[in-house]
Amino acid sequence: MMAAEIDRERTDVLFTHSYHLYYDRKQVQRQQPYPPLGTLYAAGLAREAGYSVALFDTMIDDPEHGFEEALTRYRPRLVIICEDSFNFLSKMCLSRMRDVSFNMQRQASAAGIPSVVHGSDSSDHLQAYLSHGFLAVLLGECEITILELLQAVLRDGLTSDWNITGLAYLSKPDGQIISTGPRRSSMELDQYPLPARDLASIHRYSSIWREHHGRASTNLVASRGCPFHCNWCAKPIYGNRFVLRSADSVAAEMQILKYDYSVEHLWFADDIFALNRHWVQDFADAVERRDAALPFKIQSRADLMTSETVLALKRAGCEEVWMGAESGSQAILNAMDKGLSVDSIREARARLKEAGIRAAFFLQFGYPGETLAEIEETIALVRTTQPDDIGVSVSYPLPGTVFYQRVREQLGAKRNWVDSDDLTVMFRAAYTDEFYRSLRNALHHEVEQYARPADRQDRSRSAYLWSEVYRLERRCRNAVPTQLPVLQSGMGEEPILYGIGICE
């Protein structure tokens, strides 16, 4: 066989990502994997532009051995480690994910294949990734940058010194980092093809879901970004821009997932859903018109859950809303620049319950300035509203945030969690890790009892867990916790909105 014929058999690009379900103890227990949506968006656009593409799906395939086999099978001309920036697990910048990325780069390099990388962690740690051997780090929204880079590398033969927005790379020969600045978000999301789900083993995901939860679930997004300014929230990919797809395009994708993929549940992985109340009405209308309704869950804000929005969400199939409640203390919400009132959380819970939609709270403990008094306000909020579920975390300082700047001098060698169950406090909070883990366990156990009558064993277990919390509260106090001035307004800056309509 001629060399040119062999070369034609090579795949242009092998797309992958670094999150592996089975390296994350908490997610192994949950068994709720989702395909790498952001990776599939990038692969779909590259394929539409005429490049041959393949996927190694690290979520459910073993990266230790499977990735090397994929390199042998596809013989790609370029590897792109494109993190799923819609998945909160990727945005957590877990150190185990970084290890996987570095190992993939080593394997590709050993096979003579260059690699580039895109994601929150690589954007925050350019020197670490570029020094390790990555050809480039992609900055900001990645799809158009990938197309321009593929043109330069695969078609024009340029392997350095690119004049392409959205890249960081090492200059030759001095090795200095050259950054062309992050690529801004596209204003027209409907121009992108749908994620290349045919590259992923959707049937394997469905099998896992049906085995453990009785129905198959998959993910999609209606928007990109979040315009709010919570000062602990890292946004290295989309910043504070918010862009919406058209309502009908989202309903059309739901229709495909319902009838072509036979899924029975959806997770909208948007950072914030239902920001535009008019769009939500149009969305519900489009879903009904296309007979595309499926049970779905979203992430949103309590102050967006107006009566009309809740009814429209119900009409479209919404069965669960996760809200960033964070704290039951107004002082802490203000200090976070959350722009949210505790009363709005209570009101949203009541509206959702009345509509038959599950309400769940994200709670965050350990924010600077929080004492036992503020913690007990959060416990009281949970007990009076009785959410259907909660997610408990501790404040996690990530680069690029106001919160990170406030505590960076306190950070030691460990600056990232290992997995999603880590919950290490990496600055001087009011208490040490053991206390917050005990508090998480007690709250989770209590919320689990809201759905069913508690028996004697449940009550005994609950009493023990709360006694542990208060025993550790005395033992785990930090002598000099971080204190911050409390902001009174809590409103922050005005959100930046793009795309369909405005927030009204």
What is the spatial distance between Cα 210 and Cα 141, in angstroms, rounded to a whole number?
33
In a domain, 424, yes or no: no
* 419 found inside a domain: no
pLDDT at residue 265 tops 60: yes
Shared-domain flag, residues 49 and 172: yes
One domain for residues 294 and 156: no
Whether residue 227 sits in one domain with residue 139: no
Question: What φ, ψ does residue 431 adopt, rounded to 5°?
Answer: -135, 165
Does position 493 have pLDDT exceeding 50, yes or no?
Answer: no
Same domain, 241 and 382: yes
- Same domain? For 47 and 175 the reply is yes
Instruction: Tell me how far the alpha carbon of residue 16 is from its chain's centroid.
Output: 17
Dihedral sign from CA coordinates of 502, 251, 267, 204 = negative
**Strand bridging mode 389-394 / 358-365:** parallel
232 and 171 share one domain? no
My answer on whether 330 and 385 are in the same domain is yes
Residues 6+ apart with CB under 8 A from 152: 158, 162, 164
Mean predicted confidence (pLDDT) in 403-422: 95
Tell me the per-residue pLDDT of 369-402, one tens digit each, with 9 for 90 and over.
999 999 999 999 999 999 999 999 999 999 999 9
Position 415 pLDDT exceeds 70: yes
pLDDT at 491: 39
Q: Is residue 1 predicted with pLDDT exceeding 50? A: no
pLDDT tens digits, 167-223: 999 998 889 999 999 999 899 999 999 999 999 999 999 999 999 999 999 999 999
As a whole number of angstroms, the distance between CA 206 and CA 144 comes to: 31
Residue 414 within a domain: no
Among 152, 179, 206, give the residue marking a domain's end: 179
Pair 358, 222 in one domain: yes
Total domains in the fold of the chain: 2
Distance (Å, whole) CA 12 – CA 270: 30
Q: Which of 179, 195, 224 is the last residue of a domain?
A: 179
- Confidence (pLDDT) at 485: 60
In a domain, 318, yes or no: yes
Considering 156, 179, 202, which residue would you say is the last residue of a domain? 179
Can you say whether the dihedral through the CA atoms of 478, 479, 480, 486 is positive or negative? positive
pLDDT tens, position by position, 267-303: 999 999 999 999 999 999 999 999 999 999 999 999 9
* Alpha-carbon gap, residue 442 to 445, rounded angstroms: 5
- What order of strands is seen across the sheet that includes strand 13-16? 53-56, 13-16, 78-82, 115-118, 136-138, 167-170, 177-179
Q: Whole domain around residue 22: which residue ranges?
A: 3-179
Same domain flag for 159 and 220: no
Give CA torsion, residues 472, 473, 478, 482, to 10 deg.
140
Nearest to 113 by CA among 99, 132, 134, 127: 134
Residues 6+ apart with CB under 8 A from 164: 145, 148, 149, 152, 180
* Residue 480: CB atoms within 10 Å: 6
User: Residues 246-267: what's their mean pLDDT?
Assistant: 98
Q: What percent of the chain has pLDDT above 70?
A: 94
Q: What is the pLDDT of residue 285?
A: 98
Please check whether residue 273 is in contact with residue 247, taking contact to mean a CB–CB distance below 8 angstroms: no
Per residue in 336-379, pLDDT (tens digit) is 999 999 999 999 999 999 999 999 999 999 999 999 999 999 99
Classify residue 287: in a domain, yes or no: yes
Contact 38, 219 (CB under 8 A): no
CA distance 40 to 194: 8
- The verdict on 101 and 249 lying in the same domain is no
Question: What pLDDT score was predicted for residue 8?
Answer: 53
Q: What is the pLDDT of residue 502?
A: 34
Taking the CA of residue 208 as centre, how many other CA atoms within 13 Å lie in the half-sphere pointing to its CB? 19
Helix-helix angle 307-316:277-289, to 10 degrees: 20
324 part of a folded domain = yes
pLDDT(39) > 70: yes
Q: Which of 258, 321, 310, 312 is nearest to 286 (CA)?
A: 312
Q: How far is CA 336 from the centre of its chain?
A: 19
* CATH (domain of 325): 3.80.30.20
pLDDT band at 449 (very low <50, low <70, confident <90, very high): very high
Is 465 a member of any domain?
no
User: Which pTM was predicted?
Assistant: 0.93
Helices (H) and strands (E) in the chain, counts: 19, 15
Distance between CA 243 and CA 233 in Å, rounded? 18
Mean pLDDT, rounded, of the chain:
94
In a domain, 293, yes or no: yes
Quick one: 171 and 221 in the same domain? no
382 and 236 in one domain? yes
Place 79 in a pLDDT band, splitting at 50, 70 and 90: very high
Task: Kindly report the CATH number assigned to the domain that includes residue 170.
Answer: 3.40.50.2300
